[in-house]
Structures are given as C-alpha cells and as structure tokens.
Amino acid sequence: MAIEAYRTQLPVLEREIAFGDGPPTAGAFKAGALVICTDTATNNPVLWKCVTAGTPGTWESVGESLRQVDFNVIGGAAAADYDGCKVMRGAWQLVAGIERHQVAGSDAGAVTLMVKKVPSGTAKAAGTDMLSAGVSLKGTADTNAALALHATTANLQVADGNAIALVLTGIATAVDGVSVSLWFKKL
C-alpha cells in the first residue's frame, strides 16, 4: 500500500505513521512523521523520521537494520532433528536472542542448546559458540529465556556465507516445541 494511503487512515494522530521501504518521495509531511521500514531484504534502517516539514520533507534514518532468524524444531524431535542451518547473506552481528519450549526435558542429565556460527566446509558441531553457555531445555515450559551472548565480539559476527545452526547437547527426552529467535544487526 502506498504511503499516502496509510496517511489518510491516521488523521487523528499527532504524529503521522506510515509503512514503506524508505523515506517518502512525494506528499506533504509534518516534522516528526515516521515511516516504519517493511523491507528488511534491502537492509534499510528500522525507521525514517521527518526532521523538517515539507513536500516530501527532510528525512533521516533512525535505528539500525535488523534481521530476525527463526528456528522452529518439530515436536518430539531427536538430536538429529536439530540439524537445520540458516545461511546468512552479508555481514551481521548477533545482538539478542530468545528461546522457548512447550515441554521441558526430563532426562537425568543436562540438555542444552547452543547457537553456533558455521563457515562453509565446517561441520556444525565444530562451529564457533555464539552464546556464553548453552540454554537449558529443562527450564520452565512456555517461558521465554533470553540467550546469554558470548562476551567476545568476534564470536557474534558472521561473514557473508556463514551459517547459523543449533547444536543440541544431551538427550532431549520429552523436550517438545522448541523455538529460537535471533536478531542480528547489519555490519
């Protein structure tokens, strides 16, 4: 939908809010108007803000380009089912992550999940840890668990063509419905 169409839907707001893939090139805007970027494929900033009213006004970027990477592991998954990798295009840095599972593990030993960066030609288990410690899959079910990122910046940065993978340690007895969301900023 064109930015102008969104503008007509929001006449009661003090600040205009629109959605698009960049700052507007036509139309009149007040200072303080915002465009929320919907095109993450082009690595645009998260927001554009009108700093000087006009047609179309003067716009500046706000925030950094972010990319979300999601993993959803099938119910009743065995260790072999944690084998998916996501290949990254471009250079990125992990800035946050969250894990949630529907059913906690019941095995007597530790059951953890590690996020790894894996260069081409490298087995995922031999990849570089991106977390300071694996997240426990025996924690409370249906509870978001923030991932503790590795303290070394180089461990968090991925180059073009690197993959991101999940590596399971332990026996995933009863673990079910694992979801992991990771957020990366563009380098």
pLDDT of the residue at 3:
43
Which stretches does DSSP call E strand in the chain?
Answer: 17-20, 34-37, 47-52, 58-62, 66-73, 85-87, 92-100, 112-118, 128-129, 135-136, 145-146, 157-158, 163-169, 178-186
Together in a domain, 89 and 136: yes
Same domain (yes/no): 56, 112: no
Residue 149: domain span: 66-186
The predicted-structure confidence for 108-140, as pLDDT tens digits, reads as follows 888 899 999 999 999 988 999 999 999 999 999
Q: How many domains does the chain have?
A: 2
Percent of the chain with pLDDT over 70: 80
